[in-house]
């Protein structure tokens, strides 16, 4: 029982950053914009969250900083791909490359007296046990978490409701499926795409903040370790649905938990081989999901994903 509880607890903490960023990317992609800059936004979110929290001594200031930085980077992506009509794949890659470089640069310079951030201990979000609920066997692990985890529970519910049950959610989905039709109905395609790209960036930034403020508190280079790319795969796994994103994120969190347990138990399997697990799992899951979707002929992807919209031109 204790074993299950600890696996579940670690899965949830490890999966939280993924849920934030995946729901963000689901919103972005639902509007028809593919944002491959998630990895860059998460790592910039992580470094700016830690730096801001360290200097202000407030973890919340870190979350705000990460949200701002993520949103700003997403705004850049939106401007380049929507207004300047740049290639979406390459622009996202460029944002990730620039973000990774900038994060490593800032990590060397944002510490006290222009020194490095590596090795510093900053404020972090403590675990808050919810009375009674946290005493339930196994499931209690859900209710002995930090505040960002509790917020992600709310986010999942709100995001699902918003997407399927509200008018703006309907507009968002229609822009991703058929921008021409949405435009004719008076929905601003550019405005919608800008809005949800920025929302996606904000959530990716907060996801990064959870890594440096709670999951592995502190800053080390390459802290995200490709989580931003796993997020892109999770969106496909989740078939662009926020609830299913949670299942995927827990699966990856669970892999992290198993890695932890094995390492703690003093296994003879070398760490570098254990660390491959999430990446191998990503490929396997992606292949299975794509294969199954191909069989059922049901396309989960928004029809206009990755296609620039241009009023005057027909594509």
Q: Does 313 bind another protein (CB under 8 A)?
A: yes
Q: Does 118 bind another protein (CB under 8 A)?
A: no
Give me the DSSP letters along 36-86. TTHHHHHHHHHHHHHHHHHHHT-HHHHHHHHHHHHHHHHHHHHIIIIIS--
Q: Does 93 bind another protein (CB under 8 A)?
A: yes
Q: 148-207: which residues touch another protein (CB under 8 A)?
A: none
Q: 265-284: which residues touch another protein (CB under 8 A)?
A: 270, 272-273, 275-276, 279-280, 282-283
d(CA 21, CA 227): 9
Q: Does 101 bind another protein (CB under 8 A)?
A: yes
Q: How far is the CB of 5 from another protein (least distance, A)?
A: 30
Q: Which of 41, 67, 94, 304 binds another protein (CB under 8 A)?
A: 94
d(CA 292, CA 231): 20
Closer residue to another protein, CB minimum distance, 169 or 183: 183
d(CA 292, CA 239): 12
The answer to whether the CB of 64 falls within 8 A of the CB of 253 is: no
Q: How far is the CB of 204 from another protein (least distance, A)?
A: 16
Q: Does 260 bind another protein (CB under 8 A)?
A: no
What are the φ and ψ backbone dihedral angles of 219, each rounded to 5 degrees? -120, 130
Q: 225-244: which residues touch another protein (CB under 8 A)?
A: 225-226, 229, 232-233, 236
Residue 67's alpha-carbon distances to 3, 44, 75, in angstroms, are 35, 10, 12
d(CA 161, CA 133): 25
Q: Does 102 bind another protein (CB under 8 A)?
A: yes
Measured at the CA of 29, the angle between CA 27 and CA 30, to 5 degrees, comes to 65
Q: 5-64: which residues touch another protein (CB under 8 A)?
A: 36
Q: Does 222 bind another protein (CB under 8 A)?
A: no
Segment contacting another protein (CB under 8 A): 23-31, 162-170, 195-203, 289-297? Answer: 289-297
The answer to whether the CB of 24 falls within 8 A of the CB of 202 is: yes
Q: Does 296 bind another protein (CB under 8 A)?
A: no
Q: Does 114 bind another protein (CB under 8 A)?
A: yes
Contacts of 189 (CB under 8 A, 6+ apart): 32, 175, 179, 182, 183, 309
Q: How far is the CB of 51 from another protein (least distance, A)?
A: 12
Residue in 38, 47, 39, 41 with CA at minimum distance from that of residue 70? 41
Q: Does 91 bind another protein (CB under 8 A)?
A: yes
d(CA 195, CA 204): 14
Residue 91 in tokens: 């622009």
Closer residue to another protein, CB minimum distance, 8 or 95: 95
Q: How far is the CB of 139 from another protein (least distance, A)?
A: 32
Place of tokens 């979350």: 63
Q: Does 259 bind another protein (CB under 8 A)?
A: no
Size of the residue set binding another protein (CB under 8 A)? 47
Contact residues toward another protein (CB under 8 A) are 36, 76, 79-80, 84-87, 89-91, 93-95, 97-102, 104-105, 108-109, 114, 225-226, 229, 232-233, 236, 270, 272-273, 275-276, 279-280, 282-283, 286-287, 290-291, 294, 312-313
């Amino acid at each position: 029982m204790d074993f299950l509880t600890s696996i579940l607890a670690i899965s949830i903490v490890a999966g939280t950053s993924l849920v934030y960023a995946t729901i963000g990317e689901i919103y972005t992609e639902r509007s028809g914009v593919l944002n491959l800059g998630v990895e860059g936004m998460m790592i910039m979110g992580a470094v700016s969250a830690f730096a801001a929290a360290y200097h202000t001594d407030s973890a919340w200031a870190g979350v705000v900083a990460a949200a701002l930085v993520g949103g700003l980077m997403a705004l850049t992506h939106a401007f380049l791909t929507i207004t300047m009509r740049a290639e979406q794949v390459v622009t996202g890659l460029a944002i990730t490359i620039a973000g990774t470089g900038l994060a490593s640069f800032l990590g060397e310079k944002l510490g006290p007296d222009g020194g490095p951030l590596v090795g510093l201990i900053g404020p972090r979000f403590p675990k808050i046990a919810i009375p009674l609920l946290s005493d339930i066997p196994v499931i209690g692990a859900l209710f002995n978490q930090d505040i960002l985890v509790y917020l992600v529970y709310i986010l999942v519910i709100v995001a699902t409701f918003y997407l399927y049950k509200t008018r703006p959610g309907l507009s968002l989905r229609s822009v991703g499926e058929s921008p021409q039709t949405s435009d004719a109905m008076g929905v601003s395609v550019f405005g919608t795409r800008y809005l949800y790209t920025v929302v996606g960036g904000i959530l990716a930034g907060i996801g990064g903040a959870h890594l440096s403020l709670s999951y592995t508190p502190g800053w080390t280079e390459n802290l995200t370790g490709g989580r931003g790319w796993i997020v892109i795969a999770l969106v496909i796994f989740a078939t662009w649905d926020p609830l299913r994103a949670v299942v995927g994120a827990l699966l990856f969190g669970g892999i992290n938990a198993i890695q932890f347990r094995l390492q703690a138990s003093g296994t003879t399997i070398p760490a570098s081989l254990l660390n491959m697990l999430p990446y191998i799992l990503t490929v396997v899951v992606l292949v299975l999901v794509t294969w199954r979707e191909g069989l059922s002929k049901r396309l989960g992807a928004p029809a206009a994903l990755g296609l620039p919209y241009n009023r005057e031109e027909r594509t």
